[in-house]
Structure 1
Amino acid sequence: MRDLPTDLPHVVFVGRSNVGKSSLINMIFGRNVARVSKEPGRTRNIYLYPFEEKIYVVDVPGYGYAKVSRSMLQEWKKMMEEYFKRYKEIIKIVFVLVDCVVGLTELDLQMLEYLNHMGIKRMIILTKCDKASQKELSRVKFELQRIGVEYVVTSAKEGIGKKEIIKLML
């Protein structure tokens, strides 16, 4: 893994492939800084974007479904574990993105548990709320309340949740 800048705190965006990480990052910046693709698994490295000269927004490869080899998935896993161990002290918060329609997956729960084990602050960001029915959104919110995890509801398409996320970032 290459050395990453440590002069500013890191705010990390993680989630399943195709959960909308790049779209959400672009919404926060108000312009396209992260590459958006319809094909899952296009983010293949760790990317840092300086935000207001106060933090780095960190975009990482998604977990779960991606059209890549098993060995590539293992490399991503190793890279992520190394990143969290190496930069733990400068990570301000990790936003775990969860698709409102899909809800929490086993992989999301594993990520939450891993971050908790590492002692890294985390929060759920519900993405694509504009595509979810009220029933789907209520189901996901209930599940998150049941396990005691805070969350922010967002839509990159409609700009919902932008202020709340920026407040948490800074």
Structure 2
Amino acid sequence: MLNLHNAEFLRSAVKESDFPSDRLPQVVFAGKSNVGKSSVINKLLGRKNFARVSAQPGKTVHINYFVIDRKMYLVDLPGYGYARVSKAEQQRWGALMETYFALGLLTVGIQIVDIRHKPTRDDVTMADWFRASDKPWIVVANKLDKIKKSQLEGNLAEIRQTLLLPAEVPVIPFSAEKGIGRDEVLEHIYGYIGKEGSEQ
């Protein structure tokens, strides 16, 4: 088991040579700019302000690397889908994603969506990146505390249908505020990391 409290920021990557190329597993987090990605990461690690919660989403285009217990990288992809970002910035984001995914570095992907809404076109594009990587991925449906119980099943079905998720990709209802879903997400991460270790 990993000591999730033993987590440190490694670097911000803006080009291929910045990506760590050792054999440590890379758990990749992706989500649109206002979906609460930093809050999800903080909740999973049991830390309050580890991943910065930005008041101005979409401001930076780089990949943040964190080392967890010196055994795994937590890779925080730049938030996507922020309307005010310039075309040039969007192109930089696309090029950086293309480079990262082309190198086949990720071990498992965590795509964060908003459980209250139908996934956006950008969410669908991100799901396509993960699907094309041929690596396992999990969809975390955040903001569970903001919907009624009666909406849960229908909203999860809509997410699965819109993102065209294969049967093996779980959609996990999650609340970064209350910690609901945390254990289930961690269980999947540990399972995939362990599997990769045994295959090497």
Same fold (TM > 0.5): yes
> Identity of counterpart residues, as a percentage?
38
Match of 2:101 among 79, 84, 89: 84
Equivalence for 2:113? 98
Q: Amino acid of the residue matched to residue 9 of structure 1?
A: P
Aligned length: 168
| Residues 58-82 of structure 1 deviation map (CA, whole Å, 9 limit, x = unaligned) | 1111121243211111101110111
Name the SS of the counterpart of 2:107 in structure 1. strand
| Residues 23-58 of structure 1 deviation map (CA, whole Å, 9 limit, x = unaligned) | 111111111221102332145310111123321111
Equivalence for 1:124? 139
Q: Does 1:45 align with 2:65?
A: no
Structure 1 consecutive aligned stretches of length 4 or more whose deviation exceeds 6 Å = none
Match of 1:60 among 57, 64, 77: 77
Find the aligned partners of 2:46 and 2:64 in 1 and give their Cα distance: 17
Q: Amino acid of the residue matched to residue 75 of structure 2?
A: V
CA RMSD between the two structures:
1.9
Structure 2 unaligned spans of 5+: 1-14, 191-200
Equivalence for 2:46? 30
Evaluate the alpha carbon distance shift between residue 143 and residue 132 of structure 1 in structure 2; reply closer, same or farther with a 3 A threshold.
Answer: same
Cα displacement (A) at 1:139: 2.2
Rg comparison, structure with higher value? 2
Find the aligned partners of 1:19 and 1:145 in 2 and give their Cα distance: 17
Structure 1 unaligned spans of 5+: none
Find the aligned partners of 2:37 and 2:181 in 1 and give their Cα distance: 14
Equivalence for 1:4? 19
Equivalence for 1:21? 37
| Residues 70-124 of structure 1 deviation map (CA, whole Å, 9 limit, x = unaligned) | 11111011101111112x1x41111111101123222222222232123122221
Q: Amino acid of the residue matched to residue 79 of structure 2?
A: G
